[in-house]
């Protein structure tokens, strides 16, 4: 078993709410660690609509969801958050000293006095194609998301899907893998224009082997995948040899294991005390952002930011019992990063004008 990751606030979910909580916690000198089932931070903003604009982020008349994620990461960078990505938080156990241990599906353990669930609509789980024996090859050449593209270096890869992630990963892996085959049910792809054009260009250059309209119908290999079978409409099935099969049919969120943590759940969301601090029925466990519910709840990014801010205040009191807190403006006090960096407002000069 790997060693225990310890932190002040353990955040489950690295969507916009969880990412902003890192910043607010940092102002209070509290360290955060985030767990997310996705291989990258950003939650819905990076998984569902990274290239689409948002118009109701205060002070941004328009910002792309992917850009918002980048800005949030940049804003909290000096507070050095830790990340456990591509793993789902599975169980929570309260310890006698009042802290919690949260364990992921891969066995990674995290310990913290405060747990903030910022799980959005739930943990993003892949939509799997209906191929009979696909489960037998999971982690044996079949993957539904790409955590570390390096494992495909000089390997033969088959990607299936017709959206942005299938396009973008085909482009990326065409420089890494020894052979990239992209299979899609239709001849039309749906994605950002530049991605579609780039795939066309790579296909013309022979760097991507495009097979459309076709469906993957079978998987073969002992212990590890070594070939797939695909079928074009009105044609006999054909086989190609491959080291990996990556179906990218999108991910859909499921509340999942959190539903069994003894929290009060209403309409697939966690009930919290919105009059005070967004704490759940378990003291020390908070729920912020899309994942919580209370009278008048709105599932909006800016509401998640507010909830994250108040949650951090309550976390401060739990972690520093009895200590008083005075609100300081960032403009006035500046920001001291955990990495030793300091940001502050430039001093005005006092100088006579003669």
Ligand X SMILES: Cc1cc2nc3c(=O)[nH]c(=O)nc-3n(C[C@H](O)[C@H](O)[C@H](O)COP(=O)(O)OP(=O)(O)OC[C@H]3O[C@@H](n4cnc5c(N)ncnc54)[C@H](O)[C@@H]3O)c2cc1C
The residues of the shown chain that bind ligand X, judged by CB under 6 A, are: 12-18, 35-38, 43-45, 48-49, 54, 56, 88-89, 118-124, 256-258, 289-291, 299-302, 304
State how far Cα 44 lies from the chain centre.
8
Q: Does 188 bind other proteins (CB under 8 A)?
A: yes
User: Is residue 190 near other proteins by the rule CB under 8 A?
Assistant: yes
Binding of other proteins by 83 (CB under 8 A): no
Among 140, 185, 231, 317, binds other proteins (CB under 8 A): 185
- 164 and 196 Cβ atoms separated by less than 8 Å: no
Given a contact cutoff of 8 angstroms between Cβ atoms, the answer to whether 294 and 271 are in contact is yes
Q: Which of 89, 4, 3 is nearest to 38 (CA)?
A: 89
48 touching other proteins, by CB under 8 A: yes
Nearer to ligand X, 200 or 252 (CB): 252
Shortest distance (Å) from residue 265 CB to other proteins: 11
The CA distances from residue 232 to 160, 202, 235, in Å, are 13, 21, 5
CA angle 48, 51, 56 (to 5 degrees): 85
Binder of residue 267, out of ligand X, other proteins, none (CB less than 5 to 8 A by kind): other proteins
Instruction: Please identify, using beta-carbon distances, which residue of 185 and 254 lies nearer to ligand X.
Output: 254
Asked if 79 and 26 count as a contact pair (C-beta separation under 8 A), the reply is yes
- Residue 127 CB, shortest distance to ligand X, in Å, is 14
Q: What is the CB neighbour count within 10 angstroms for residue 5? A: 16
Q: Is 52 in the site for other proteins (CB under 8 A)?
A: yes
- Residues whose CB falls within 8 Å of the CB of residue 335, separated by 6 or more in sequence, listed in order: 26, 27, 78, 342, 343, 344
Asked if 268 interacts with other proteins (CB under 8 A), we say yes
Binding-site partner at residue 118 among ligand X, other proteins, none, CB < 5 to 8 Å by type: ligand X
Q: Can you list the alpha helix ranges (DSSP code H) found in the chain?
A: 16-27, 44-47, 65-76, 164-173, 193-204, 301-319, 330-333
Decide: is 187 part of the binding site for other proteins (CB under 8 A). Answer: no
51: contact with other proteins by CB under 8 A: no
**For residues 284 and 304, which CB has a smaller minimum distance to ligand X in the complex?**
304
**250: contact with other proteins by CB under 8 A:** yes
Residues 104-163 that bind other proteins (CB under 8 A): 121-122, 127, 130, 161-163
Binding of residue 60 to other proteins (CB under 8 A): no
Q: Does 253 bind other proteins (CB under 8 A)?
A: yes
With CB under 8 A, what is the number of residues at the site for other proteins? Answer: 22
Instruction: Give the count of beta carbons closer than 10 Å to the beta carbon of residue 205.
Output: 9
Structure tokens at 343: 């940001």
The CA distances from residue 280 to 164, 239, 315, 347, in Å, are 37, 53, 13, 43
Q: Which is closer to other proteins, CB of 124 or CB of 316?
A: 124
Distance CA 101, CA 226 (A): 40
66 touches which of ligand X, other proteins, none (CB within 5 to 8 A by kind)?
none
CB 78 within 8 A of CB 339: yes
* Chain positions contacting other proteins, by CB under 8 A: 48-49, 52, 121-122, 127, 130, 161-163, 185-186, 188, 190, 249-250, 252-253, 255, 267-269
């Amino acid at each position: 078993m790997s060693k225990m990751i310890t932190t002040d606030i353990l955040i489950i979910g690295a969507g916009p709410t969880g990412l902003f909580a890192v910043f607010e916690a940092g102002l209070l000198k509290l360290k955060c660690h985030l767990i997310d089932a996705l291989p990258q931070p950003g939650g819905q903003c990076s998984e569902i609509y990274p290239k689409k604009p948002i118009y109701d982020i205060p002070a941004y008349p328009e910002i792309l969801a992917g850009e918002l994620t980048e800005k949030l990461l940049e804003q909290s960078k000096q507070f050095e958050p830790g990340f456990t990505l591509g793993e789902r938080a599975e169980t929570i156990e309260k310890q006698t000293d009042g802290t919690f241990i949260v364990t992921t599906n891969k066995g990674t353990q995290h310990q913290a006095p405060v747990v903030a669930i910022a799980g959005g609509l739930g943990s993003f789980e892949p939509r799997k194609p209906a191929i009979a024996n696909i489960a037998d090859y999971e982690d044996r050449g079949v993957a539904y998301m790409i955590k570390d593209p390096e494992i495909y270096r000089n390997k033969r890869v088959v990607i299936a899907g017709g959206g942005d992630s299938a396009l973008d990963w085909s482009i990326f892996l065409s420089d890494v893998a020894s052979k990239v085959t992209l299979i899609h049910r239709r001849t039309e792809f749906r994605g950002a224009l530049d991605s579609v054009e780039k795939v066309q260009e790579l296909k013309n250059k022979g760097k991507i082997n495009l097979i459309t309209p076709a469906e993957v119908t079978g998987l073969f290999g002992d212990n590890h995948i070594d070939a797939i079978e695909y079928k074009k409409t009105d044609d006999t099935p054909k086989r190609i040899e491959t080291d990996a099969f990556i179906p990218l049919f999108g991910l859909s969120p499921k509340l999942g294991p959190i539903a069994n943590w003894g929290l009060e759940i209403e309409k697939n969301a966690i009930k919290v005390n919105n009059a005070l601090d967004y704490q759940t029925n378990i003291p020390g466990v908070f729920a912020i952002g899309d994942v919580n519910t209370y009278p008048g709840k709105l599932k909006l990014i800016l509401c998640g930011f507010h909830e994250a801010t108040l949650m951090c205040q309550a976390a401060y009191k739990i972690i520093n019992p009895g200590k008083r807190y005075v609100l300081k403006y960032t403009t006035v006090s500046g920001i001291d990063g955990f990495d030793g960096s300091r940001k502050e407002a430039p001093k005005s000069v006092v100088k006579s004008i003669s």
